[in-house]
Structure 1
Amino acid sequence: MIVANFINGTSAPATDATTGLPVERRTETSPLVDPATGAEFGRAVVSREIEVNSAVAAAAEAFKTWSRTTPGERQLALLKLADLVEATAAEIADAEIRETGKIRSVVLGEEIPQCVDQIRFFAGAARALGTAAAGEYLPGATSYQRREPVGVIAQITPWNYPLMMAVWKIAPALAAGNTVVLKPADTTPSSSVLLAALAARVLPAGVFNVVLGDRDTGRLLVEHPVPAMVSLTGSTRAGVEVARSAAATVKRTHLELGGNAPVLVFDDVDVASAAEGIVGAAYYNAGQDCTAATRVLVHAGVHDEFVAALVKAASAQVPGTDFGPLNSQAQLDRVLGLLSRSSGTIHCGGKQHGSAGFYLEPTVISGLAQDDELVQEEAFAPVITVQSFSSDDEAIELANGVPQGLASSIWTRDTSRAAALTARLDFGIVWVNTHGLVASEMPHGGFGASGYGKDLSMHGLEDYTRVKHVMIAH
């Protein structure tokens, strides 16, 4: 099995958008590994300059007409795509699970329905872009603003949510009238290729293209002179590299980077209920979620009781049943290294689970200093760290004392306290008495080392537009 590029409305071999002639198919491939077993099951094409050039050329050619379609036409196409994703859910789930080890019921019951809803949201949003009213802001002249598509968009997605992150990228970009060249993570390409094949049934050729490959492939795409914007979801390190490369050609960048979410637990909570909720939000997708509730800050008055409740709830989680494996051996080794170097006390877990696949036992570790690696870095694993605080000010200081600023949550029965603290948390998302819920209508994005730009919501659509002022003299 070889997973191939999808360029200009067709699978490999790619077709040159200008000449219409086949582009030479490369023989270079990379392994695809099932993280639930550790076994290789296929290969994926590794694209280089000729494939990247072909995809960008196809997108540039398609932009000439797609950018001139009406919002209603784009809405209809996206609604059809949402219907196709919904109808093909089982096939998409098979591809997603094979490369991620996700739990099938979660993919089919939660992730794919969310993707369908998000595509449908942006289908409607395409017809609802607003701007300032036209008017005479200077004597003798009428001014108005136009929101226009940016152009060809280079998009790079991560391995933790291959399908969902592709949807978060392409839906607003296409709704705004842009065309796309998307590069998925090299370990999880299949669902993105399936999405492109479905899109080819309702979109003109070249509007949505997928090139597969490694970091060098991504670099070629980012540095290509044609794309006007680069949108990345990935690590902070990757974001810095993309921003640096994009600067050479003054490309716009949209960066949704790593998270390290603090979870502030006060001494008035229902301990058992809060612990169960936090464990569920921490271990969802094996903790491989940039908003995972894994950095718990708990009031000293209930610290020991809460740790015990976390351990009880965590110990009830079964790898392979309640959450899947880590993405790769390298990711498992990285997390085990973080745990081995930590000075904290491991209450449960901390070891590889089983002999097959890349599973980690559900882990709870307390007694960490603020400068511990596990506090300052995103573990991206089923690992909950616990720190103690004695006052609201100390809780805020610990919460904000990391470079990342994506998501956070507050757990308390005191609504006045919650309202006051939401303003002091330096994070793009703040949940109260819940964690991790996503609404298509609400923005998702962070501050600081977590990047800039918003996914979802009307803000996400506006990020893929440019604003033009037009003034007409009377």
Structure 2
Amino acid sequence: MTAVEVSQETFDSLDPATDEVVGTYPVQTREQVEEAVERAREASRWWMSLGFDGRAERLRRWNATITRRMRELCEVVQRETGKPYGDAQLEVVLAIEHVAWAAKNARKVLGRKRRSAGLLLSNHTATVEYLPLGVVGVIGPWNYPVFTPMGSITYALAAGNTVVFKPSEYTPGVGKWLVDTFAEAVPEHPVFQLITGFGKTGAALVGAGVDKIAFTGSTATGKKIMAAAAETLTPVVIEAGGKDALLVDSDADLDAAADAAVWGAFSNSGQTCIGVERVYVHERVYDSFLEKVLALTGKVKAGEQYGPMTMPAQLDVVRKHIADAIARGGRALTGGNVGERFVEPTVLVDVPEDAEAVCEETFGPTMTVAKVRDMDEAVEKANATKYGLASTVFSKHNGQRLADRLRAGMTSINAPFSFAGIASLPFGGVGDSGFGRIHGPEGLREFARPKAVAKQRFAVPLKLTSFTRTDKTEQLVGKLVTTLHGRGGKE
């Protein structure tokens, strides 16, 4: 045993429902992180050389392994997060869909394409292609430890990059499972590596010379990562928090809207960045909608339909938001109780718009429900937030018009979260919810750099970029440009 192994600090991953130790992992040092990035740098040359087809074949191989061993992965997710098996399976299934899409579409999105060279340079061909960045560092969250980081990992790999992955300290076992199964499918080189630890390990990854950082987590941590990455001009893609709204119009299917609100607010203990935290309901249907929401909420039991809070510190945030809402005149029609591990599903009404439960991300099984006079007021209040991640609209006739007006990166109409399951759609937000995109063509391009090439096919007498250019040439070019572009307006 080496001296490094003897002195290696470790930490335990715990089952949040029982505090049982699930696994023990190293707290990797800056030197160890830098060594992992260097290995990834060396492996990247081989991974790039495989081309789209070679990488796609290996990604499909990995995806088949994930699919065949889905139950095994779901059990790891269940033990480290506490979520029900069905919820774990849902995020794994969505991740499988994204692996398949990225592998299939990488060439189509990133491969070389012709562009018009224009009239002045019509003797040229013009092409653009998207090349790998090199090594991508991914820092993942604990709430959806498969689906969310795989939105970066999969697309980065399909684009030709190698990946060094730092999962949350609450879900290192999930990260290890993903990396180990990838190594079974791609044993030749360390294309996809795991590093474990706490915030310092993540900070070490940011400063280790990677070519891009993909981060999912809180807005506060995202700002710290951006500041650190700025020191080396390392680009970042940030998927941070949200305070997402659901709008219910007067013509909405109220049963479907209520079901979506309850699922969106309480599934995964409300620990969902795109979860429903605020609901704005047209006054004509407010009472009926609220009645349906309360009836459905009464059937949702903490510890049955959803698990414990994965991160203990979040209990204090939820408790504080509920207390502030009630102190400011709000009422808890259900729940309101925060235990040592679980939070009861909580429906809050009459909460002022400047209360913490409306303004700040709660990240727990709560929702505020507010009555609005019309959908103009609903849109105005929904947009009155520093966040801008996701949103949901229920309306039979006005869904698209309302969606168009919402300041959010994603909107689902008449169904909850459907944009997350459509692999061709980009995922990401604006404002304090971050920037950049994962998933879809935009997600592939996020992990590639455009390379433009202009090639002269034959020489022409009109030489514009030469000291041999004549006055006659300049006059001819001036007339040509005036003919082409000078007639679009009047003096």
Deviation at 1:134, TM superposition (A): 4.6
Shift in CA distance, 467/41, structure 1 to aligned 2, threshold 3 Å = closer
Partner deviation per Cα, 1:341-360 (whole Å, 9 max, x = no partner)? 2222111111135x6xx211
Answer yes or no: is the 8 Å Cα contact 1:93–1:107 preserved in 2.
yes
- Which residue matches 1:6? none
Identity of aligned residues (%): 32
Does the residue aligned with 1:133 lie in a helix, a strand or coil? strand
- Which residue matches 1:62? 43
Tell me how far apart the structure 2 counterparts of residues 277 and 309 of structure 1 sit (CA, whole Å). 11
Tell me how far apart the structure 2 counterparts of residues 67 and 267 of structure 1 sit (CA, whole Å). 54
Answer yes or no: is the 8 Å Cα contact 1:72–1:126 preserved in 2.
no
Deviation at 1:373, TM superposition (A): 0.7
Deviation at 1:332, TM superposition (A): 1.3
Does the residue aligned with 1:290 lie in a helix, a strand or coil? coil
Tell me how far apart the structure 2 counterparts of residues 42 and 199 of structure 1 sit (CA, whole Å). 20
Partner deviation per Cα, 1:325-381 (whole Å, 9 max, x = no partner)? 11122111221121112222111111135x6xx211011001111111111111111
- Which residue matches 2:403? 422
With the length of structure 1 as denominator, give the TM-score of the two structures.
0.90
- Which residue matches 2:94? 114
Deviation at 1:281, TM superposition (A): 2.1
Tell me how far apart the structure 1 counterparts of residues 403 and 414 of structure 2 sit (CA, whole Å). 12
Does the residue aligned with 2:284 lie in a helix, a strand or coil? helix
Answer yes or no: is the 8 Å Cα contact 1:408–1:429 preserved in 2.
yes
Partner deviation per Cα, 1:74-123 (whole Å, 9 max, x = no partner)? 00000000001112212212211111001012323x22222212111111
Tell me how far apart the structure 2 counterparts of residues 244 and 112 of structure 1 sit (CA, whole Å). 32
Shift in CA distance, 346/95, structure 1 to aligned 2, threshold 3 Å = same
- Which residue matches 1:380? 363
- Which residue matches 2:338? 352
Deviation at 1:143, TM superposition (A): 2.6
- Which residue matches 2:477? none
Answer yes or no: is the 8 Å Cα contact 1:408–1:430 preserved in 2.
yes
- Which residue matches 1:234? 217
Runs of 4+ in 1 over 6 A off after TM superposition: none
Q: Does 1:214 align with 2:198?
A: yes
Q: Does 1:75 align with 2:38?
A: no
Tell me how far apart the structure 2 counterparts of residues 395 and 268 of structure 1 sit (CA, whole Å). 14
Q: Does 1:283 align with 2:266?
A: yes
Task: Give, as a single letter, the amino acid of the residue that structure 2 aligns with 1:296.
Answer: V
- Structure 1 residues 30-39 or 154-163, which shifts more? 30-39
Tell me how far apart the structure 2 counterparts of residues 267 and 392 of structure 1 sit (CA, whole Å). 9
Tell me how far apart the structure 2 counterparts of residues 88 and 272 of structure 1 sit (CA, whole Å). 36
Answer yes or no: is the 8 Å Cα contact 2:113–2:129 preserved in 1.
no
Shift in CA distance, 114/25, structure 1 to aligned 2, threshold 3 Å = farther
Q: Does 1:201 align with 2:218?
A: no
Give the structure with the larger helix fraction: 2
- Which residue matches 1:468? 451
Does the residue aligned with 1:182 lie in a helix, a strand or coil? strand
Q: Does 1:125 align with 2:105?
A: yes
Tell me how far apart the structure 1 counterparts of residues 167 and 93 of structure 2 sit (CA, whole Å). 20
Shift in CA distance, 420/321, structure 1 to aligned 2, threshold 3 Å = same
**Equivalences for 1:232-381 in 2 at 5 Å?**
232-342=215-325, 343=328, 344-353=330-339, 358-381=341-364
Does the residue aligned with 1:190 lie in a helix, a strand or coil? helix
Partner deviation per Cα, 1:295-340 (whole Å, 9 max, x = no partner)? 1111223323322322221121011221111112211122112111
Does the residue aligned with 1:154 lie in a helix, a strand or coil? strand
Does the residue aligned with 2:316 lie in a helix, a strand or coil? helix
- Which residue matches 2:85? 104
**Equivalences for 1:438-453 in 2 at 5 Å?**
438-453=421-436
Tell me how far apart the structure 2 counterparts of residues 122 and 445 of structure 1 sit (CA, whole Å). 17
Tell me how far apart the structure 1 counterparts of residues 6 and 221 of structure 2 sit (CA, whole Å). 28
Shift in CA distance, 71/242, structure 1 to aligned 2, threshold 3 Å = same
Shift in CA distance, 22/59, structure 1 to aligned 2, threshold 3 Å = farther
Deviation at 1:163, TM superposition (A): 1.5
Task: Give, as a single letter, the amino acid of the residue that structure 2 aligns with 1:202.
Answer: A
Q: Does 1:223 align with 2:203?
A: no
Answer yes or no: is the 8 Å Cα contact 1:26–1:45 preserved in 2.
no
Task: Give, as a single letter, the amino acid of the residue that structure 1 aligns with 2:109.
Answer: L
Shift in CA distance, 298/135, structure 1 to aligned 2, threshold 3 Å = closer
- Which residue matches 1:186? 169
Partner deviation per Cα, 1:376-405 (whole Å, 9 max, x = no partner)? 111111101112211222111100001111
Answer yes or no: is the 8 Å Cα contact 1:96–1:188 preserved in 2.
yes
Gaps of 5+ in 2: 458-491
Aligned Cα root-mean-square deviation (Å): 1.9
- Which residue matches 2:8? 27
- Which residue matches 1:7? none
Does the residue aligned with 1:449 lie in a helix, a strand or coil? helix
Tell me how far apart the structure 1 counterparts of residues 194 and 378 of structure 2 sit (CA, whole Å). 44
Shift in CA distance, 201/23, structure 1 to aligned 2, threshold 3 Å = farther
Answer yes or no: is the 8 Å Cα contact 1:75–1:127 preserved in 2.
no
Q: Does 1:145 align with 2:128?
A: yes
Does the residue aligned with 2:127 lie in a helix, a strand or coil? strand
Task: Give, as a single letter, the amino acid of the residue that structure 2 aligns with 1:465.
Answer: A
Task: Give, as a single letter, the amino acid of the residue that structure 2 aligns with 1:120.
Answer: A
